[in-house]
Structure 1
């Protein structure tokens, strides 16, 4: 499956329920499988996600018009990013949050294709964090060109310098 098989678009408020449901489904799955990631999503309303969607920062990934994944890409450090990264906040850096893939499409290269898509954006680097004990997720980011930059509050900090303008 190539990136051309996927359609990535900005989520609208009409997509909010689908995005919220996928994130909650994955948060519950992770809780059930003893992965400490996103458990806060199960505690109720997600005002941050609502804000991200209304500001055009959350994306939908579709294949054959079916919703298969979502992610948020902040054009500058949010409050959590500032906590994790401290004063090290270079210009033209985007922050990837909540990359979530529908269980039916896991292990099909969707995450890798999203990262390839990010390299086509006009940004110099992408940063993210994930729970340090989530070995599978840490390995995924390392295998996709992200460099471990340290650990803050039990969260691994990853960064990838983007090769802008390369065709995929």
Structure 2
């Protein structure tokens, strides 16, 4: 990896770029792996609102958005608190970590995760939690390599899938 990458909060005006990156990742996942969990575009209006609220982050290199993630602090409706190691503990929840498919494998995803952990730690949140599509063996291995603990699998329905499928819930102390 070349120089240190700049990770910062996205602006609402960058929501279209972030959305385009997520769509490119969805197409790549479908073409390479035959998985459709990211096939339906994330609603632009929701992305704009989340960016305006400070939840969407980007990794920038030479002025171009190369990666993104969303970080918020509310227990997702699909999760049950008792699934976690410390159910009552405050936590940050990671969503939509994505790296430009043309430059994956350069450590940008791992860099983003370190930044996510830093942000959560600085906010006084002892846990970082998220889910990942269980059928994607590569992403499962990536998160384990980054030190995240798989807690359990659960069923969730995504618009792209049209039916319930299995996701793995992860957490890590910040």
> What's the TM-score, normalizing by structure 2?
0.81
Deviation, 1:13, is 1.2
Please state if 1:87 is matched with 2:81.
yes
Please state if 1:158 is matched with 2:170.
yes
Q: CA RMSD in A?
A: 1.8
Deviation, 1:96, is 0.6
**5+ residue gaps in structure 1?**
163-168
Deviation, 1:129, is 0.5
Check the 8 A contact 1:36/1:134 in 2, yes or no.
no
CA distance in 1, matches of 2:168, 2:44: 23
The total of aligned residue pairs comes to 155
Structure 1 pair 49–90 and aligned structure 2 pair: CA distance change class (3 A)? farther
Please state if 1:17 is matched with 2:19.
no
Which residue number corresponds to residue 38 of structure 2?
Answer: 38
Check the 8 A contact 1:6/1:63 in 2, yes or no.
yes
CA offsets 1:111-168 (integer angstroms, 9 cap, x no match): 1111111232222111111111110001100000100000011000010111xxxxxx
Please state if 1:8 is matched with 2:7.
yes
Deviation, 1:67, is 1.4
Q: Which moved further from structure 2: 101-110 or 49-58? A: 49-58
Match for 1:132 among 124, 131, 134? Answer: 134
Structure 1 outlier segments of 4+, above 6 Å: none
